[in-house]
Structure 1
Amino acid sequence: MTRKLRLPFIGLAALLAAGQPTAQADNTGTVEAGVLHHSLSDGFGTWNQQFVRGSLRTSDATVWNADLVNARQFGAHGALVVGGVTHVFNEDWYGSLAASHGSSFFFPQSRGDAVINRKLGDARNVIATVGVTAVNARDGHRDRSLLLGLSWYLPNAWVLQGGTRINRSNPGGVMANAKYIAATWGYNKQQYIALRYDMGEEAYQYIGAGSADLLVNFRSSVVSGTWRKWLAPTYGFQLRAEAYHNPFYDRRGLEAALFKEF
């Protein structure tokens, strides 16, 4: 994970539950475990991760989630712990809170996210999203950002998304903004296929623990594709491919996971 405040990929379960709340209500929770391997160009080595994700529905309106990640990037080891909650306030409004802590230079020392969503239109098939994020790095760098997005639920099982993140990094007051578009197709308990493209600026990115190992003020882009497939009503697999580019190196890789619903 880079220091760029990349627009987070909205998890398929969370995305589709937001637009179709009854589709996920038959599940109390989900456990998912997997691995990630990415290869980097220009002598930057490889990334490897192992992770466990979980969600627990404690009421018709509230879902808790947690992630635990063990990673090796740029020759160093680190761990990341994430926790969050999503709550439906009424038929029009829902929101989420999340916090995370990382143990190495390539993860934020602390991060907090707050997001509010509003369903629009007579059919409530357009969702407006506003979010704020605060990131504190281990070396004193800080990011503060505003997320603005739209999700449009179309006939024939399509969901289109687009948005932007307006980000300010300090010290220096550097603006590093990003945009994204995404499309998802599929049906609950069968399969979902999603494609996403991100592009924008990065204010800074550490590629090592030393003060000299710092990339600053550059553009980057990410293309990703996700396939979530049920093999039975309560379990299946997910594959995610990603291709990242910046002026200094390219990164390509695959994430594979198994999930079980209960």
Structure 2
Amino acid sequence: MIRKLHQPFVCLAALLATGSAVAQAATTGTVEAGLLHHSLSDGFGTWNQQFVRGSLRTSDATVWNADLVNARQFGAHGTLVVGGVSHVFNEDWYGSLAGSHGSSFFYPQARADAVINRKLGAARDVVATVGVTAVNAHDGHRDRSLLLGLSWYLPNAWVLQGGTRINRSNPGGVMANVKYVAATWGYDKQQYVALRYDMGEEAYQYIGAGSADLLVNFRSNVISGTWRKWLAPTYGFQLRAEAYHNPFYDRRGLEAALFKEF
């Protein structure tokens, strides 16, 4: 159940977390607002979201962030509240903590994430990532997962990423592991273009509030593309397309947002 919509996009998040760009350090915060619409096959209807995201840099090393999401999925309404902090410890180490709470069956009742990153090599152009996640669902299901990843910062503004999330779901002790690869190109204050592909297993997924509305132990894959474009030094837009497939339905859709930096 770990893989859900509206998770931070790994490629762009990794770029922003390093704080390596001079322009990034000059930005105090960001406010972003947008809409999402996805269509599902096999009579599963549509998904719609409205969201507001924000970040605030309180020092050269620390950035706080928060999301508020209003969503309608599988015919039900729900909200999601997310809060977190990223911190650069020194020139080699940086990490983040995040927590969230959802009000409906399709969001976790509680989720906590902790991630630590280490720059490697003489040029510090490779970043190793280790993270842990704990998810408690509204009906008592629990997920505990380990994230392992590598990011390679190449010349000419390219970043390549790959990794795996090893997940154990209870009750039942079901293993549901996911692998991902991603590529990002771009420059801060100009544009970023990113592609990502995930494939693996899901232990369970809720498609309704009843005990019978549960998909169990299946494979799925998702491909997504993100374009973040600055129209001026302090504002711009972001578009994100996503295509998801499992044995029960397909999901296709677009997210559009405007952002303002200050």
TM-score, normalised by the number of residues in structure 2? 0.97
Match for residue 73 of structure 1?
A: 73
Match for residue 102 of structure 1?
A: 102
Query: Helix, strand or coil: the match of 2:138?
Result: coil
Quick check: 1:19–1:125 contact (8 Å CA) kept in 2?
no
Quick check: 2:11–2:183 contact (8 Å CA) kept in 1?
no
Quick check: 1:39–1:252 contact (8 Å CA) kept in 2?
yes
Q: Which runs of 5+ in 2 are unaligned?
A: none
Tell me how far 1:23 sits from its aligned partner: 3.8
Query: Helix, strand or coil: the match of 2:10?
Result: coil
Q: Which runs of 5+ in 1 are unaligned?
A: none
Tell me how far 1:16 sits from its aligned partner: 3.7
Match for residue 51 of structure 1?
A: 51
Tell me how far 1:13 sits from its aligned partner: 5.2
Q: Structure 1 counterpart of 2:3, which letter?
A: L
Match for residue 64 of structure 1?
A: 64
Q: What is the rounded CA distance, in whole Å, between the counterparts of 1:19 and 1:184 in structure 2?
A: 16
Q: What is the rounded CA distance, in whole Å, between the counterparts of 1:225 and 1:31 in structure 2?
A: 21
**1:177 and 2:180 equivalent?**
no
Q: What is the rounded CA distance, in whole Å, between the counterparts of 1:189 and 1:47 in structure 2?
A: 31
Tell me how far 1:18 sits from its aligned partner: 1.3
Deviations 1:5-60 (A, max 9, x none): 36852262552441625341010000000000000000000000000000000000
Q: Would you say how many aligned residue pairs link Structure 1 and Structure 2?
A: 260
Q: Structure 2 counterpart of 1:160, which letter?
A: L
Q: Structure 1 counterpart of 2:78, which letter?
A: G
Match for residue 246 of structure 1?
A: 246
Match for residue 166 of structure 2?
A: 166
Task: Call closer, same or farther: CA 1:98–1:215 in 2, change over 3 Å.
Answer: same
Deviations 1:149-206 (A, max 9, x none): 0000000000000000000000000000000000000011110000000000000001
Tell me how far 1:72 sits from its aligned partner: 0.1
Q: What is the rounded CA distance, in whole Å, between the counterparts of 1:211 and 1:246 in structure 2?
A: 20
Tell me how far 1:89 sits from its aligned partner: 0.4
Q: How does 1:143-154 map to 2 (within 5 A)?
A: 143-154=143-154
Match for residue 194 of structure 2?
A: 194
Match for residue 118 of structure 1?
A: 118
Q: Structure 1 counterpart of 2:49, which letter?
A: Q
Quick check: 1:17–1:24 contact (8 Å CA) kept in 2?
no
Q: Structure 2 counterpart of 1:50, which letter?
A: Q
Match for residue 140 of structure 2?
A: 140
Deviations 1:220-261 (A, max 9, x none): 000000000000000000000000000000000000000000
Quick check: 1:146–1:167 contact (8 Å CA) kept in 2?
yes
Identity %: 88
Task: Call closer, same or farther: CA 1:11–1:49 in 2, change over 3 Å.
Answer: farther
Quick check: 1:17–1:23 contact (8 Å CA) kept in 2?
no
Quick check: 1:105–1:208 contact (8 Å CA) kept in 2?
yes
**1:227 and 2:194 equivalent?**
no
Q: What is the rounded CA distance, in whole Å, between the counterparts of 2:8 and 2:175 in structure 1?
A: 18
Q: What is the rounded CA distance, in whole Å, between the counterparts of 2:8 and 2:54 in structure 1?
A: 17
TM-score, normalised by the number of residues in structure 1? 0.97
Q: Structure 2 counterpart of 1:167, which letter?
A: N
Task: Call closer, same or farther: CA 1:13–1:236 in 2, change over 3 Å.
Answer: farther
Query: Helix, strand or coil: the match of 2:101?
Result: strand
